[in-house]
Amino acid sequence: MSEDKKKDEGKVIPLFPPQEPQKFSLTIGLHPGTNSVSVAFEEPISGFSLRHADAERFAKTILANLSYFEKPFHKTALPLPVEEDKRKTMIEWIMEHPLWHYPITFRVPPDPEGFFGPSEDQEGRTVYPILSDGPDWHDETHNIGGGFHECVKVTFHHVDPDLEYIHDPISEGEDDPRNTATRVWIEAGGWYDLSQDKNEIEPEEGWNERNRWGHCHDMNLDCGGVDWETAVLELARLVGFFYNEDGTKKEDAPEPCEGHFEGDDWVSDCEDDGDGFCKHCGFSMKWNESDDS
């Protein structure tokens, strides 16, 4: 074996040797009020070719996935955190939020071990069944009914990434080719007491802790994102904006402007203040659009 081959023996030879990094200039203009992006692109110094359309698509992809570029729904809404630990804490907070729970009252023994009262089964063996009532027991109410997964509906859709809009199918079974970007949409809401609604029919067994609570859809919490994490973080931001820590609605939370019908179309009464937000209610003009898409 030659000396040169001995030197190379045992080495990992890269299939594609390192090359000089390709350099190009990409200037991105952010317009959060209108949720738009402008891109100025210059050809790379080394002669590498990248079409302007590719550069613009590349820039929009980056912006769609970076939370700190996301357009807020209100002028006063806090930005989403970018730090991983803060995002994790925010997700844990929203999944355990009291908004998703309703109160349940149950009987409690003086001694916690009193739930398991010893008794004998038919064969004379000692068993410890779970009891539901007994002497000196008292009522306790805890906000443990329901939960995040009962109150939050998550669906997946394909939209036009340039418009964030779903185009109608071209024909039955054939989707519009512009609907290419996957989005996660969320609908959510807390609970309301059906027994207090005069239009509800009382069950034969009467109202109780298990049948009196109905789930509602709060349209102020409608939101979405490019992935599950972003959508849930946006939901957390909305819940923090409209609700207190105990799950009750904030009395001082801003209300979006009303609207009116023009033919079959619902038109918001908001007026753009020149920054993409309404001059009256402060909500984003995009957020106030009422579109089934």
pLDDT of residue 155: 95
- pLDDT tens per residue across span 60-88: 555 554 433 456 889 898 888 888 899 99
What are the start-end ranges of the H helices in 204-289?
A: 228-242
Residue 232 or 38, more confident: 232
Model confidence at 104: pLDDT above 80 = yes
- pLDDT tens per residue across span 250-264: 999 999 898 888 888
- Strands (E) located in 32-76: 36-42
The radius of gyration of the chain from alpha carbons, rounded to an integer in Å, stands at: 29
Count each helix (H run) and each strand (E run) in the chain, helices first.
Answer: 5, 13
Measured between alpha carbons, how far is 50 from 57 in angstroms, rounded to an integer? 11
Model confidence at 15: pLDDT above 70 = no
Residue type, 34: T
**Which candidate, 95, 194, 103, places its Cα nearest to that of 151?**
95
**Which candidate, 256, 273, 245, 176, places its Cα nearest to that of 219?**
256
The tokens describing 97, both together, are: 């939020």
Torsion 154-159-163-165 (CA) sign: negative
Model confidence at 239: pLDDT above 90 = yes
- Please provide residue 83's backbone torsions phi and psi, each rounded to the nearest 5 degrees: -75, 135
Tell me, yes or no, if the pTM score tops 0.75: no
Strand partners, 130: 116
Cα–Cα distance list, 147 to 88, 93, 101, 170, 195 (Å): 19, 13, 5, 40, 20
As a whole number, mean pLDDT of residues 204-218 equals 89
pLDDT of residue 194: 92
Measured between alpha carbons, how far is 181 from 210 in angstroms, rounded to an integer? 41
Report which DSSP code applies to 73: S
pLDDT bucket at 34, cuts 50 / 70 / 90: very low
Measured between alpha carbons, how far is 14 from 8 in angstroms, rounded to an integer? 12
Measured between alpha carbons, how far is 74 from 271 in angstroms, rounded to an integer? 14
The tokens describing 186, both together, are: 């969320």
Measured between alpha carbons, how far is 199 from 96 in angstroms, rounded to an integer? 31
Residue type, 137: W
Q: Judging by DSSP bridges, how do beta strands 259-262 and 152-159 pair with one another?
A: unpaired
Is residue 33 within 8 A of residue 247, CB to CB? The reply is: no
Among 36-50, 106-120, 164-178, 248-262, the range with the most confident prediction by mean pLDDT is: 248-262
